Amino acid sequence: MASPSPLLQPPPSSPDPSQHCTIKLPLSFPKKPQTPLFLFVLFLAISSAAAFVFLLSSSSSSASSISPEIHVGSPRARALAKLRRPVVLVVSCDGFRFGYQFKTPTPNIHRLVANGTEAETGLIPVFPSLTFPNHYAIATGLYPASHGIINNYFVDPVSGERFTPSNHDPKWWLGEPLWETVADHGLNAATYFWPGSEVVKGNWTCPPRFCPKYNASVPFEQRVDTVLSYFDLPQNEIPVFINLYFEDPDKQGHQVGPDDPKITKAVVRVDEMIGRLIQGLEERGIFEDVTFILLGDHGMVGTCDKKTIFLDDLAPWIRIPESWVTYYYPVLSILPPTSVSYSEMVAKMNAGLASGKVENGDYLRMYLKEDLPGRLHYSDSSRIPPIVGLVDEGFSVEQARTNNKECAGAHGYDNALFSMRTIFVAHGPQFQRGRKIPSFVNIEIYNLITSILKLKGAPNNGSASFPNSVLLPSA
């Protein structure tokens, strides 16, 4: 359980590498610059791109905030040409660390960025920066403490029941996800493998034609083509909210860490899928009508066997039986029997970790959940275990010394870490072209989408003012 896969089913075998290099790239990026001339050209390209971005953002910064001073000629939401009502398509690339889009030319992502609105320094995940807590925070606008999915795997301290990602019992999944909000307004929604989407809630029944059951083996092309086929339905049946999930590049990131040619290939492949979607929408004449949001759930950081903390090393201070540990890293979760004094346990563990005698002890700090930093919003739920350890960036926690493992990748760490950020790009009638916005936490997305769809949403942790600060005013 040290490094759980994002979804329970084993991922498909790695795609054939020969598939990755077919796209024609506008620039060639040799792995190592061949000549000083290349460096100089690269420098020119980067500096002119930066100047361009600066011009775009400085000319647009005042126009998009709601203020009485909006002058004539300010951009306004563009009218729909073909669709009868707004449609929002959200594509999630699991573990797409912010910055991956610069590893290699990504012409399709670039099209969304160039003509859309982008979180300039990435989208901030909720804590813990894990797949299920974050996908469900995006869907509900709630912090994990409120939406109930406080980890990918956890034990409910009250009932003793275990949650795993394949559990679709509605009692675990609190809050109101977007697909339910849409269904409760009598409209169609469609989900393609989004965590939580198979849970029956309110008027959302996970209808077979719009809610396939999770199967990691379904090729990405098939997922894209199915989503595109929804746009061929009669207008009043087209789902107004559609989401689509890709396991990549998280799958590769766990295997090899964020800096490896495998990641670059996975990014190229994901970009090709974005291109397939854009092309399919263009063929139908609706690319400019559809709101296309590309995002991820969290980033990725390299881990190494030399960066491990072993709980058994704390034995001189306190013995921690394996059965008390519900999750090792990056969020060490301990649920001892109630006969144990939690505060004494935290104190003893921290004494050992700070003693200088425990390998890498400085990189783990234990807390009673109520003493965790408030910015993590990780205490106000009975499901959160009483004792939580924050593990420093790139470190891991294991019970005992075993044969060393290879270096790999992980996420789940403090959401303030830059390496945990992911991308956010939105393209569509209500998003200004070429605009950059500051980073924000993904709980804001629920209100953004209900605003675009003009639906009344459920109470959540997003701020009411966020949509107005980002969306173009109505025409």
Ligand X SMILES: *[C@@H]1O[C@H](CO)[C@@H](O)[C@H](O)[C@H]1NC(C)=O
37-45, 293-301, 442-450, 461-469 -> range binding Zn ion (CB under 5 A): 293-301
21-29, 77-85, 233-241, 458-466 -> range binding ligand X (CB under 6 A): 458-466
Shortest Cβ 222–ligand X spacing (Å): 6
Task: For residue 200, state whether it binds ligand X (rule: CB under 6 A).
Answer: no
Binding mask 13-52 for ligand X (x = CB under 6 A): ----------------------------------------
Nearer to ligand X, 146 or 430 (CB): 146
DSSP assigned state of 201: B
Per partner kind, with CB cut-offs from 5 to 8 A, the member of Zn ion, ligand X, none near residue 131 is Zn ion
**Six-digit token pair at 147?**
């939406």
Shortest Cβ 393–ligand X spacing (Å): 24
Burial of 447: CB neighbours in 10 Å, binned 0-12, 13-18, 19+: buried
Per partner kind, with CB cut-offs from 5 to 8 A, the member of ligand X, Zn ion, none near residue 6 is Zn ion
Task: For residue 156, state whether it binds Zn ion (rule: CB under 5 A).
Answer: no
Residue of 176, 180, 250, 288 that binds Zn ion (CB under 5 A): 250
Range 11-70, binding Zn ion (CB under 5 A): none
79-87, 154-162, 314-322, 454-462 -> range binding ligand X (CB under 6 A): 454-462
Residue of 48, 67, 159, 215 that binds ligand X (CB under 6 A): 215
Q: Catalytic residue among 104, 106, 117, 131, which?
A: 131
Helices and strands, number each (H, E), in the chain: 11, 17
Nearer to ligand X, 23 or 218 (CB): 218
Residue 279 CA to residue 273 CA, distance in Å, equals 10
Cite the DSSP H helix spans in 100-169. Answer: 107-114, 131-140, 144-147
Task: For residue 218, state whether it binds ligand X (rule: CB under 6 A).
Answer: yes
What does each C-alpha distance from 373 to 147, 173, 334, 365, 378 come to in angstroms? 19, 25, 18, 12, 8
Residue of 8, 80, 114, 455 that binds ligand X (CB under 6 A): 114
Kindly state the helix (H) or strand (E) to which residue 334 belongs, with its residue range.
strand 331-334
The answer to whether the CB of 68 falls within 8 A of the CB of 465 is no
Closest CA to 195 of 252, 257, 147: 147
Closest CA to 460 of 175, 127, 151, 199: 175
Per partner kind, with CB cut-offs from 5 to 8 A, the member of Zn ion, ligand X, none near residue 146 is ligand X
Q: Three-state SS string across 44-64, please?
A: HHHHHHHHHHHHHHHHHCCCC
Shortest Cβ 363–ligand X spacing (Å): 28
Does residue 131 carry a catalytic annotation? yes
Nearer to Zn ion, 93 or 211 (CB): 93
Task: For residue 275, state whether it binds ligand X (rule: CB under 6 A).
Answer: no
The answer to whether the CB of 325 falls within 8 A of the CB of 311 is yes
Range 106-135, binding Zn ion (CB under 5 A): 131
Nearer to ligand X, 101 or 308 (CB): 101
**Six-digit token pair at 273?**
């899928």
For Cα atoms 207, 211, 215, give the angle at the middle one, nearest 5 degrees.
Answer: 135
b/e for 47-79, b at 16 or more Cβ within 10 A? eeeeeeeeebeeebeebbeeeeeeeeeeeebbe
Per partner kind, with CB cut-offs from 5 to 8 A, the member of ligand X, Zn ion, none near residue 94 is Zn ion
Residues near ligand X, by CB under 6 A: 111, 114-115, 142-143, 146, 184, 186, 202-203, 215, 217-218, 377, 459-461
Supply the residues annotated as catalytic. Answer: 131
